[in-house]
Amino acid sequence: MDRGGNRVNVAPTPLTPEILVPRLGDYLVERGFLSPEDLEAVLNYQAVLREQGQEVPLLGQLLVRLGKISQSLLDHAITEYVLQLRTALEESNQQLEQRVQQRTAELERALQKLSELNQLKANFVANISHELRTPLTHLKGYHELLMSGDLGALNETQLHALRTMQRAIERLERLIEDLILFSTTERGNLPVTIQPIDLCVLCRNLVEQVSPRARDQRLYLELRCPIESELFVYGDWEKIGWVIHQLLDNAIKFTPAGGQIVLAIDLMNEHVEVSVTDTGIGIPANRIQELFEPFHQLDGSSKRRYGGTGLGLSLAQKIIEAHNSVISVTSELGRGSRFSFLLRRVLPQDRPEWGGHANQ
Q: What does the DSSP assignment read for 2-34?
A: -TTS----PPPPP--GGGG-TTHHHHHHHTTSS
Question: How high is the pLDDT of residue 2?
Answer: 47
Least confidently predicted of 67-71, 283-287, 296-300: 296-300
Q: Which residue has the higher pLDDT, 115 or 324?
A: 324
Could you tell me if residue 356 is left (phi over 0), alpha (psi between -120 and 50 degrees) or otherwise beta?
A: left
- Read off the pLDDT of each residue in 200-224 and give the average, rounded to a whole number: 93
pLDDT digits (tens, 9 = 90+) for 267-296: 988 999 999 999 999 988 888 888 888 766
Q: How far apart are alpha carbons 213 and 22 in whole angstroms?
A: 80
Question: How high is the pLDDT of residue 272?
Answer: 94
Query: How would residue 223 be classed by pLDDT, with cut points 50, 70 and 90?
Result: very high
* CATH class of segment(s) 195-354: alpha beta
Q: Which residue has the higher pLDDT, 352 or 138?
A: 138
Q: How far apart are alpha carbons 285 and 298 in whole angstroms?
A: 12
**Range list of β-strands (E), the chain:** 195-198, 220-224, 232-235, 260-268, 271-278, 328-332, 336-344
Query: How would residue 20 be classed by pLDDT, with cut points 50, 70 and 90?
Result: low
Residues of the chain with CATH 3.30.565.10: 195-354
| 353 within 8 A of 196, measured Cβ to Cβ | no
Q: What angle is formed at CA 114 by the lines to CA 110 and CA 116, rounded to 5 degrees? A: 115
Bridge partners of 344, per DSSP, are 271
| 60 within 8 A of 22, measured Cβ to Cβ | no
Question: How high is the pLDDT of residue 18?
Answer: 59
Give the β-pairing of 220-224 and 260-268: parallel
Q: Which residue has the higher pLDDT, 193 or 355?
A: 193
Query: How would residue 1 be classed by pLDDT, with cut points 50, 70 and 90?
Result: very low
Burial 141-178 (b: 16+ CB within 10 A, else e): eebeebbeeeeeeeeeeeeeeeeeeeeebeeebbbbeb
Question: How high is the pLDDT of residue 205?
Answer: 94
Answer yes or no: is pLDDT of 242 > 90: yes
Least confidently predicted of 44-48, 325-329, 356-360: 356-360
Say what percent of the chain tops pLDDT 90: 30
- Read off the pLDDT of each residue in 56-80 and give the average, rounded to a whole number: 81
Burial of 324 (0-12, 13-18, 19+ CB in 10 A): exposed
User: How far from 262 is each of 67, 206, 219, 225, 247, CA to CA, in Å?
Assistant: 95, 12, 11, 11, 11
Give the β-pairing of 336-344 and 328-332: antiparallel
Answer yes or no: is pLDDT of 304 > 50: no
Question: How high is the pLDDT of residue 331?
Answer: 92
Q: Which residue has the higher pLDDT, 219 or 353?
A: 219
Q: Nearest 5°: phi and psi at 319?
A: -65, -45
Q: Which residue has the higher pLDDT, 200 or 138?
A: 200
Question: How high is the pLDDT of residue 10?
Answer: 47
Q: How far apart are alpha carbons 83 and 101 in whole angstroms?
A: 27
Q: How far apart are alpha carbons 216 and 357 in whole angstroms?
A: 37
pLDDT digits (tens, 9 = 90+) for 128-147: 777 777 888 888 888 888 88
Question: How high is the pLDDT of residue 302?
Answer: 40
| 322 within 8 A of 311, measured Cβ to Cβ | no
- Whole-model pTM: value is 0.59
Answer yes or no: is pLDDT of 354 > 90: no
pLDDT digits (tens, 9 = 90+) for 316-341: 999 999 999 999 999 989 899 999 99
| 248 within 8 A of 263, measured Cβ to Cβ | yes
Q: What angle is formed at CA 284 by the lines to CA 282 and CA 285, rounded to 5 degrees? A: 115
Question: What is the rounded average pLDDT for all residues in the chain?
Answer: 81
| 291 within 8 A of 298, measured Cβ to Cβ | yes
Question: How high is the pLDDT of residue 3?
Answer: 47
Q: Which residue has the higher pLDDT, 158 or 342?
A: 342
Question: How high is the pLDDT of residue 36?
Answer: 86
Answer yes or no: is pLDDT of 202 > 90: yes
Q: Nearest 5°: phi and psi at 89?
A: -65, -40
